[in-house]
Amino acid sequence: MANSFTRMITGRNTAVMMAMGAGTLASAFLLSDNTAAAERRRFYPPSADYPDLRKHNNCMALAMTPTIYAHLRDKATPNNWTLDQCIQTGVDNPGHPFIKTVGMVAGDEESYEVFAELFDPVIKDRHNGYDPRTMKHPTDLEASKITSGMFDERYVLSSRVRTGRSIRGLSLPPSCTRSERREVERVVVTALSGLKGDLAGRYYSLGEMNEREQQQLIDEHFLFDKPVSPLLTAAGMARDWPDARGIWHNNDKNFLIWINEEDHTRIISMEKGGNMKRVFERFCRGLKQVEHLIQERGWEFMWNENLGYILTCPSNLGTGLRAGVHIRLPFLSKDPRFKKIMENLRLQKRGTGGVDTAATGDTFDISNLDRLGKSEVELVQLVIDGVNYLIECEKRLERGQDIKIPSPISQFRK
């Protein structure tokens, strides 16, 4: 992993390179760089600091045990990120009886290794039993493999694919320093300025945009706001807002990148209508070009063969991909079998405002549930096949015909 680094670094200390190069063989450093930490360990054994999770319903709280806490409390990643910092958001946000949140975040790539004893069961819980110790995640961005990717536009209003990418060697949003965040912005914006043709575009820094630009971006549904969700703020992701945050989009306004929101980058391909195949094709092409452009300067994305693409939230590991449509399903959405059909197709519905919003009327946001254990091509195909099935059901119900619940799709590649 760390072997083919050549980075053009200006004014950087070699110590940084060595700390960054730890990668999958990250060693856990003990918090021994000051006597205060040693004193704390003496006066406060792990049991004194063990969080009260009795009212909690999130993956972290369900996986945490006093033994795990005792093993991991005094460890730190090479960037000095600790377990308590990973779990703070889950301690501060007990969760909801109906919605099981993840309850922990990574501060850097090495978090997933140093704190594996807790991350692994959380990943298993969230990703249908996926075991990072033994399983390999497939990455496949060959859009040409997609079939039937054109939806009936009487039902599908828009199509969208998003993912995230992290820049290897820089800490993640919960933990990054201002200079690291600014570095992410520089690296990505420089790379994006190299995009050409239908991908050529420009960058809008959140801190410097004028009122008119801001309104424009809001109207186009591109602008992201300072996070208000306590899930994100308790994890430290809103620090120093809006420093080094921004939005880039191409002139055609169908390829868009968020910089330094919940992840280093969020990459979005979208358009009105039902041409999911074209959306995905542009997505893959754009991603590959961006990756190539950053590699030219010696950078790369965080990725490994067990966890796929490394992102801040464990729920986004693997592909980090959410492919979805805004779709009208007036008959099907009222059918009592709707929920089960979605479940078996491994799809989820959200309101048209995105996660944690309600649907308006009969229009839903339908997307893949899974992220890890299946490739991008597999997941997008799953969404295409699933949405086509939903449209079929809708048409049948329109005609007064009956519909069938499909058999459940299997979790991982056999």
Token pair listed for 216 = 């424009």
164 is in an annotated binding site: no
Rounded-to-integer distance, Cα 193 and Cα 197, Å: 12
CB-based burial of residue 157 (10 Å sphere; 0-12 exposed, 13-18 middle, 19+ buried)? middle
319-338 residues labelled b (16+ CB within 10 A) or e (exposed): bbbbbbbbbbbebbbeeeeb
Nearer to another protein, 262 or 365 (CB): 262
24 is in an annotated binding site: no
158 is in an annotated binding site: yes
Contact present, 144 and 277 (Cβ < 8 Å) = no
CB of 343 to another protein, least distance (A): 35
- β-pairing, 303-304 with 265-272? unpaired
Contact present, 76 and 114 (Cβ < 8 Å) = yes
286 is in an annotated binding site: no
Residue 107: CB atoms within 10 A of its CB come to 25
Does 48 participate in binding another protein (rule CB under 8 A)?
Answer: yes
325 is in an annotated binding site: yes
Nearer to another protein, 174 or 324 (CB): 174
Q: Which of 13, 134, 147, 410 binds another protein (CB under 8 A)?
A: 13
Stretch that binds another protein, among 196-204, 237-245, 253-261, 369-377 (CB under 8 A): 237-245
Rounded-to-integer distance, Cα 374 and Cα 19, Å: 31
Q: Which of 1, 24, 70, 80 binds another protein (CB under 8 A)?
A: 80
Contacts with another protein, 158-197, as mask; x by CB under 8 A: -------------x--xx-xxxx-xx--------------
Token pair listed for 53 = 């999770």
* Interaction residues for another protein, span 240-259 (CB under 8 A): 240-241, 243
Q: How many CA atoms lie within 13 A of 217 on its CB side?
A: 23
* Interaction residues for another protein, span 102-131 (CB under 8 A): 107
354 is in an annotated binding site: yes
The dihedrals phi and psi of 37, each to the nearest 5 degrees, come to: -65, -40
264 is in an annotated binding site: no
Stretch that binds another protein, among 40-48, 190-198, 267-275, 372-380 (CB under 8 A): 40-48
State the number of binding residues for another protein (CB under 8 A). 48
Rounded-to-integer distance, Cα 188 and Cα 310, Å: 17
Does 238 participate in binding another protein (rule CB under 8 A)?
Answer: yes
Q: Which of 70, 92, 152, 291 binds another protein (CB under 8 A)?
A: 92
Rounded-to-integer distance, Cα 14 and Cα 160, Å: 41
Nearer to another protein, 33 or 252 (CB): 33
Nearer to another protein, 171 or 381 (CB): 171
Q: Which of 8, 36, 407, 410 binds another protein (CB under 8 A)?
A: 36
Does 86 participate in binding another protein (rule CB under 8 A)?
Answer: no
* DSSP annotation of 404: -
Rounded-to-integer distance, Cα 34 and Cα 32, Å: 6
Does 213 participate in binding another protein (rule CB under 8 A)?
Answer: no
Nearer to another protein, 21 or 194 (CB): 21
Q: Which of 33, 153, 220, 296 binds another protein (CB under 8 A)?
A: 33
Q: How many CA atoms lie within 13 A of 146 on its CB side?
A: 28
H/E stretch holding 33 reads: none
Does 49 participate in binding another protein (rule CB under 8 A)?
Answer: yes
Torsion sign, CA atoms 127, 73, 115, 258? positive
Number of H helices and E strands in the chain, helices first, is: 14, 12
Contact present, 272 and 221 (Cβ < 8 Å) = no
Q: Which of 85, 304, 312, 388 binds another protein (CB under 8 A)?
A: 85
Q: Which of 51, 138, 194, 406 binds another protein (CB under 8 A)?
A: 51
Which amino acids are annotated as binding site for ATP, given as ranges? 158-162, 221, 266, 322-326, 350-355
Which positions touch another protein (CB under 8 A)? 11-13, 15-16, 19, 31, 33-37, 40, 43-44, 48-52, 79-82, 84-85, 88, 91-92, 107, 171, 174-175, 177-180, 182-183, 207, 233-234, 236, 238-241, 243
